Chains A and B, each alone.
Chain A
């Protein structure tokens, strides 16, 4: 019905209208610009954070699992006292001995103790008690000396592993294997230096001083009811679900839980954490979407306002166009196109600023956002939202223009 020339001139008119009122158009589109820019930046940051975190999960290992005590939801505290739900050494031994899908498993218990080496004394270093499997589970081996063996655990040897930072803090020689240090007043022989390469997780810089001792030794240095967690590895990531079931079965039996009793612990494979994190990221993205919705609403009202001004300013022009044969539909589309163009230009500027902000985020040291980037879908979505805003808020002024009486319009001063 409308010929190509109409569309050509409508589009060029829309742009020339914006160009002729540059500052006004900019101020009008500011709402859209700010909305799109902030959302683009937030989505970029989230995307960066997500890929970073997922990469870290991957580095931890997709077949990894964790066990930790957990009071059942809504259960009265006195029915499940802490000491009753804490993991016990016997339980981790049962997992090691009975679960066929578990390749490696280690208890980890941490205790803060004073450490001395010669004249140097550091208070409250975190000492972790581990099994030899810890090396495999954490993918951390030794740079010098030897890793822990089952003999260290079984015969409760007073040996320890140490990391680079601890060596520095204790003023030990560069290769301290064979040196002795005092941990909690007891003499321990340094047998190896553990790698620090895998130590970063969630930005927690665990490259501070670390000292590891056999779990059986740590057990003796702890209080009676001490906290421990279990970390392990399934034979492959594909059996994670069956593996969890196995661990759960063994633990329920150990704890004598009837089938109807709630679980007093949690078994979680790494893929669960990945899913949870993805769900969290999706939630935050949805909130960002809501923010863009509100800012586009505010921006849209600005667009509507300026389009009403434009219609009233150009009443005579509308009258003339009608006199030379513009149908109401042609006038409506003309003004709608103008509103949409204004919004799209705003959206374009917004995305450009958002991208710039995303680049800025990647340059912040330590912010963990090196991978911040605006995904293509966000660009498409921003444009789509801008266009829809133009249509929705441009409709009322456009209808007003289309309905103008040509006689009245031509008489308008």
Chain B
């Protein structure tokens, strides 16, 4: 048994994805390699068209690659059929979406229980499990509220409780703070860090450096390949941000390097921002 701290939970090799839209062929992923260890907290970043969403769909087992291999928790999921992928999603993946995706007519508790509806056995004690999950996200007092009776942050907490219910191998969040104000964003990111501290592997797909700054590691994509894959302290893009500075200070990066990175980031961010709007 390898050391659980260093076991790769996600092992992606030479992943390609080719879409055909009419007569056009789009190479969304062009031989991407990525490895994420258990209990890492990783941000995946990139402008639109970088292959970020495609990678997230692959990692979340929502889609199959055109070629390449994807081992999730030691199992090759790249050649599974729709039913097998559904079971993998149920047992191994916890999704958190930008727009929460809660069922409007169901209570917080019922929303959290949803994955158990599709679980292969082990649905007994569902209420306790759902209540425990809501407790972990700090919503044990709102279990009988419907989504329209909850604030945005509370809704996202319900969604996170739903995602962690089946103790997934990875918690996969797609722009989880995209619909939240800055104060709530901080709270939700703190929740992700708390879950990470409790041993949860977290992958956050985002285009915001503030969000990425809460992760240990930043993977940047461009044109369907990994552009850079660095610990947050060495990722230069977000250096001007207080959170990054704090993280950098912890590991002791020289101040002049940080300043240099901040200048670099400013230019980079403008370029990225332009790309993001189109």
Contacts and interface: CB of A to CB of B under 8 A. Distances in A.
Given A324-B118, A325-B119, A327-B118, A20 B90 contact: no
A329 B82 CA distance: 10
Interface stretch (A191-199, A221-229, A313-321): A313-321
A322 interface: yes
Contact of B82 (A9, A16, A319, A327): A327
Interface residues of A, number: 25
Interface stretch (B109-117, B181-189, B195-203, B264-272): B109-117
B95 A323 contact: yes
Interface of A is mostly: helix
A407 B59 CA distance: 13
B101 A320 contact: yes
B225 interface: no
A201 to B, nearest CB: 63
A328 B116 CA distance: 16
Contacts of B119: 3, 5, 325
Given A3-B121, A5-B123, A410-B101, A325 B62 contact: no
A321 B118 contact: yes
Contact of A324 (B57, B90, B126): B90
A324 B120 CA distance: 12
B162 A324 contact: yes
Scoring B60, B63, B118, B120 by chain A CB atoms within 10 A of each residue's CB, the highest score goes to B118
B118 A6 contact: yes
Nearest to A319: B101
Nearest to A7: B117
Contact of B103 (A5, A320, A410): A320
Scoring A3, A5, A324, A330 by chain B CB atoms within 10 A of each residue's CB, the highest score goes to A324
A320 B98 CA distance: 12
B86 A326 contact: yes
Nearest to B89: A325
Given A3-B120, A3-B123, A327 B101 contact: no
B101 A326 contact: no
A20 B105 CA distance: 9
Contacts of B101: 316, 319-320, 323, 410
A330 B119 CA distance: 11
A4 interface: yes
A327 B120 CA distance: 11
A4 B124 CA distance: 10
B118 A317 contact: no
Contacts of A6: 117-118
Interface string B63-98: 100000000000000000011001101110101010
Interface of A: 1, 3-6, 9, 16, 20, 316-317, 319-330, 406-407, 410
28 contacts: A1-B120, A3-B116, A3-B120, A3-B123, A4-B123, A5-B116, A5-B117, A5-B119, A6-B117, A9-B117, A317-B103, A319-B101, A321-B114, A324-B115, A324-B118, A325-B86, A325-B89, A325-B90, A325-B118, A325-B119, A326-B118, A327-B82, A327-B86, A327-B118, A328-B83, A330-B86, A406-B62, A407-B63
Given A319-B101, A323-B93, 6 more contacts: A3-B119, A16-B105, A20-B105, A323-B60, A324-B90, A327-B87
